[in-house]
Amino acid sequence: MTQNHKALFIIFGGTGDLAYRKLYPALYRLYKKNYLNENFAVIGTARRKWTDAYYEQVVYDAIADIKESDEDAKQFANHFYYQSHNVKDTDNYISLLNLAEHLDEKYAIEGNRIFYLSVSPSLFGEISSHLKAENLLSEDGFNRMIIEKPFGTDLENSESLNNEILKALTEEQIYRIDHYLGKEMIQNLLALRFANPLLKNIWNKNFISNMQITLAEDIGVEERGAYYETSGALRDMVQNHVLQIVSFLLMDEPNSYDSEAIREVKVKALQDLKSINSTNVTENYVRGQYTTSDRYPEQVGYTDEHEVDPNSIVETFVAGKIESKNENWSGVPVYIRTGKRMKAKNTRIDIVFKESENAFLVDNETQSNVFSILIGPEQGLSLQLNNKSIGHEFEVEPVQLSYKQEDDAPEDYERLILSALSGEKTNFVHWDELAESWKYIDAIRQAWSESESPLHLYEVHTNGPEEASRLLEKEGHYWIWDE
Ligand code: NDP
Ligand code: BG6
């Protein structure tokens, strides 16, 4: 049965891009599905001097494409209030507290508060300490703080950011968003691995040859050049999304399916990753940057993007070979790649199984069994098997069994906000996971800076530099997806 949640959302960065494109539509979907009903209100805050009426109109516009009717959209937008607020200014928190208490009573919210920090991470510490000092943390209901990536720029920076927040809130109250954890097919990884004896029994080094994780994007850095210059693909995509997927693929079976038990095995999987250093970085990692192509003269290279240094050596592509020290995974590489301006948007995992030594392999047409988990834009599964071709001859050829997931799955932010309302933390990133992933990433950055590891240019609308394929080819493997 759908549970109607009671909560006051205080969104810092209420005038920003994320709030407009993701948060307001997600809240509306929860409203339409009755997870939020009458007992909720939203305070949007930012420095801009907006009125409540203007803010309501912004929210109304943000849901224009998905609203069921004008009436319904207006009723939803009526739950939104705006307060102009510089997060550095103490007095503003006092007004915010008064408004919060008023709305708490008006909507019978029972003191439940979700603070959504949709602002630069450099403001997280300041906001947290003010929330505590100015008594915005409710004593009656729950206090939960949702924070957005990037969680710092390296382990040291992330640790100090975290320590700032921990002065006001506990780890239990912090919900770090990695929107990949809100994706249907990522959440499905647990079910696929552990609810199917067929897969569970062969999910190990005896049967799996290699795993491949692809997070390819056809878009460039768009309007985010300034941010991307401080991040690059390694921090933007590998530190969070890719390593989260790696931990789901390599983790042992948890003792139970509660968030603590799952977190424990995920952290262990990250701790087991073989570390990269300046002597092995070039053979295990390839970095690239997109450049112009004669075939697409209208598209600029990375160094000509808005707010990007013309001499930038920031990587827009990373491919790598990840190995685990865990004996269960000895000899099974996990190949990863992610990049901007690749041929197509495609997010997928391909599990390549070992071939068996038998007479059928004499026939050149047989191929490895491959289990593919399609995360986006198409969602589904596919299994490649070798099958006898129809006819009088005994010939074997590969066929695909495919399953396509329906399009009506809940959207990432909708799912994650509902998890935060329910206090369900499995799909949020715990500090222990974050610390381990930064250790792995910091070592790569350090190795790149100490070694001669080159930055390879790749033309827009290709699948990255050729060196990325060589990572696999030298071990007799090849990318399963290579459109
Ligand atoms: P924007 O720059 O669009 O929004 C930033 C918000 O912060 C604005 O509402 C701005 O409003 C407010 N703000 C800035 N300084 C202050 C201040 N001193 N006091 C009060 N408010 C302030 O950024 P995004 O919405 O894109 O991103 C927000 C966060 O989400 C960032 O951490 C980003 O990394 C993360 N994120 C964003 C994604 C996206 O798709 N946009 C995806 C993943 C993460 P004003 O100027 O009116 O004060
Ligand atoms: C974000 C990155 O975390 O993920 C973006 O900051 C990237 O650079 C985006 O475009 C990709 O997400 P998705 O859901 O489109 O694969």
The residues of the chain scoring below 50 in pLDDT are none
Ligand 2 atom with the smallest distance to the CA of 221 is 8
pLDDT of residue 1: 63
pLDDT of residue 408: 78
Q: Are the C-beta atoms of 281 and 320 separated by less than 8 Å? A: no
Name the closest-CA residue to atom 42, ligand 1.
Answer: 18
Instruction: Estimate the share of the chain in helix, then strand, then coil, as percent rounded to the nearest 5.
Output: 40, 20, 40
Does residue 347 have its Cβ closer than 6 Å to ligand 2? yes
Q: How far is the CA of 70 from the centre of ligand 2 (A)?
A: 31
pLDDT of residue 316: 98
CA 327, 329, 332, 338 torsion: positive or negative? negative
Q: What is the 3-state secondary structure (H, E, C) of 153-214?
A: CCHHHHHHHHHHHHCCCCHHHEEECCHHHHCHHHHHHHHHHHCCHHHHCCCCCCCEEEEEEE
pLDDT of residue 362: 57
pLDDT of residue 351: 98
Taking the C-alpha atoms of residue 62 and residue 56, their distance in angstroms, rounded to an integer, is 10
Cα–Cα distance list, 394 to 340, 355, 390 (Å)? 45, 19, 9
Q: What pTM does this model have?
A: 0.95
Q: Please identify every residue annotated as catalytic.
A: 241
3-state SS assignment for residue 323:
coil
Taking the C-alpha atoms of residue 340 and residue 288, their distance in angstroms, rounded to an integer, is 10
Q: How far is the CA of 121 from the centre of ligand 1 (A)?
A: 9
pLDDT of residue 215: 98
For 368-391, how does the pLDDT look when each residue is reduced to its tens digit (9 = 90+)?
Answer: 999 999 999 999 999 999 998 899
Q: Are the C-beta atoms of 30 and 182 separated by less than 8 Å? A: no
Does residue 178 have its Cβ closer than 6 Å to ligand 2? no
For 319-351, how does the pLDDT look when each residue is reduced to its tens digit (9 = 90+)?
Answer: 999 999 999 999 999 999 999 999 999 999 999
Q: How far is the CA of 215 from the centre of ligand 2 (A)?
A: 9
For 192-219, how does the pLDDT look when each residue is reduced to its tens digit (9 = 90+)?
Answer: 999 999 999 999 999 999 999 999 999 9
pLDDT of residue 361: 60
pLDDT of residue 274: 98
